[in-house]
Amino acid sequence: MTYKLTGSPILKGEKNVTIVTIEKEEPGRYSYERVELPGNRTHDNEEVLIQAVLDFIRTELDPTNAIVTAQAKLEQTLAKLEQAEQKVAQAQANLEQTQEKLTQAEAKQNDLEALANRITKVVRVMAQDSIMGEKVSYGTTYKEMVELFPLAEVGKVYEPGSIFAVEDPNHTEVYGEGKRILIQTNQSFTYQGETLAQLEGTPYQNGVLATWKFSAPKAPNEPTVASAAAVSTTATVTPTITEPSATTVTPN
């Protein structure tokens, strides 16, 4: 039994249906089936439209089969829905695990920041006690301690009490002290790329900041030179008095 499409499918927009007519060729006679398929089916090919018409007719003639078909489709839909729910539950579980990991990572980050702050305070105290207290005996020690502080950043505002370092390329190392010099601010100060010489100018003279260089240690037997004010320039001369010698008188 052969079917073919008769004419083109017609779309009825007001009903949102497509009118499709198929022709059945039988020996000695022709029969036609005309149905309204839901939706716009004008772009479907001939085989699809013919099968859709036959399914529509079969549903009308055998409603039980239609129910079975609908039930099967419903079961398929429910199975897909269950799979989707499982995926959503798994995604939710993954999200909770991710959030837990993020919380743990944030706690570790906070711990690391707290540790870094403590280390910074320790380094600061060491610098204040050793370098600023002029207790560093070796240039290499001074160099390593100064390298614990960041180099000055152009445009950064340093609040009072901040400590940073600047490099002095013109400095000639003698004791391995390096070319970095420690700077401490006494007032709010914006670094604009000044050299050490410039920092030791107006900012230093106005008390905005202080520079802490390495002080070369004195030799163990180096004599202490008294200041000029402690030496008297007037010599006191005490005259020498010679007592007279005794005179012997001989009697006549």
Low-confidence stretches of the chain (pLDDT beneath 50)? 224-252
Name residue 141's amino acid: T
**Residue 23, SS3?**
strand
Which is nearest to 152 in space by CA: 179, 182, 117, 178? Answer: 182
pLDDT at 226: 38
pLDDT at 28: 64
pLDDT at 218: 64
pLDDT at 27: 67
pLDDT at 1: 61
Torsion, Cα 81 87 89 91, to 10 degrees, reads: -150
Each residue of 128-150: pLDDT tens digit? 777 776 778 888 989 998 998 99
d(CA 152, CA 148): 13
Q: In terms of C-beta distances under 8 Å and separation of at least 24 residues, what long-range contacts does 117-125 make, across chains too?
A: 123/148, 123/149, 124/163
**Residue 194, SS3?**
coil
The 10 Å Cβ neighbour count of residue 106 is: 10
Q: Are 46 and 24 in contact (CB under 8 A)?
A: no
**Residue 121, SS3?**
helix
Enter the pTM of the model.
0.45
pLDDT at 128: 73
According to DSSP, the residues that pair with 35 across neighbouring strands are 20
